[in-house]
Amino acid sequence: MSYIIAVSNEKGGVAKTTTSLSLGAALVESGKEVLLIDMDAQANLTLALGIEPDKSRRAISNILLESATPASVSRETGIPGLDIIPSNSEMGMAERFLPLRENYQNILRDALRSNGLYYPYIILDCPPFLGAVTTNAIMAADMLLVPTQPEYFSIHALKNMIALIRRLRNEGNPTLTYRLLITMHDRRNRTHRTLSEQLRTTFGNGVLQTVINTDTKLRESPIAGLPIIYYAPKSRAANEYRTLAQEVIQHAQETTQQPA
């Protein structure tokens, strides 16, 4: 079975898409095949890989609204071993019409687990709100990865994320785990250091050891249409995402039968 990671936070601007892309590339570099799925109508993950959303005739919306198979919608990127199911403008309708479908919360999970599609890792890049699309992603996930900037509003949004985790565990995904990832951290900023320590005190092992610090190369890489691992392979951010990939692999091995 694939190990499915949903990357989500109700707060926008906390590096969800950057993390989805960079983690996926780091896993590929470590020898894993990865499928990225862009769940966001803004299609930033699709754009970050140099794909024009308006030219993607088949996308994640076809799975959610028309029961298309993932294999019929996925496409290769310019990076061997890294594939994507893109998003396009039709994804804007999913939030409205998805709840009208029977057993809608499990549509993505059923599609990913019952169509002979196998990637060791599947990463779902979620929109910045906790609606029907995000619910679908988390119900399909083995692990919820929550990028969290060490700022007040980002941390405050965790309250709703934790409530959603508890609800979805009760509604059909009892083995769902979660990990917080501190992103956009400025080591020179006293507030960032203080809030990061508070997060670790409050959530303990729920916070990943890896920290993603601010790095201008991360902002440049989407313009080049490349993950940071390939755009600036020796940068600090690239090495941090490599460390994150190893931590995620270890977590997957400890919680499932995922092979090394």
Yes or no: say if 54 and 88 are a contact pair by the CB < 8 Å rule. Answer: yes
Residue 226 lies in a domain: yes
Residue 209 lies in a domain: yes
- Write out the two tokens for 45: 């993950």
Q: Of all residues in the chain, what percent carry a pLDDT higher than 90?
A: 72
How many domains, the chain? 1
Task: Calculate ∠ Cα 186-187-193, nearest 5°.
Answer: 95
Structure confidence at residue 257 as a pLDDT band (50, 70, 90):
low
How do residues 174-216 score in pLDDT, each as one tens digit? 999 999 999 999 888 889 999 999 999 999 999 999 999 999 8
Instruction: Give the pLDDT confidence score for residue 12 in this predicted structure.
Output: 82
Structural domain including 183 reads 3-255
| d(C-alpha 126, C-alpha 133), whole Å | 8
| Single-letter amino acid code for the residue at 69 | T
In the 8-state DSSP scheme, what is residue 114? Answer: S
Residue 237 lies in a domain: yes
Residue 52 lies in a domain: yes
Residue 228 lies in a domain: yes
Instruction: Calculate the average pLDDT of the chain.
Output: 92
Whether 55 shows a pLDDT value over 90: the answer reads no
Question: Where residue 19 sits, what CATH number does that domain have?
Answer: 3.40.50.300
Residue 260 lies in a domain: no
Yes or no: say if 46 and 87 are a contact pair by the CB < 8 Å rule. Answer: yes
Structure confidence at residue 259 as a pLDDT band (50, 70, 90):
low
Instruction: Give the pLDDT confidence score for residue 57 in this predicted structure.
Output: 81
What's this model's pTM, rounded to 2 decimal places?
0.95
pLDDT, average across residues 90-118: 89
Whether 258 shows a pLDDT value over 70: the answer reads no
Residue 93 lies in a domain: yes
Residue 206 lies in a domain: yes
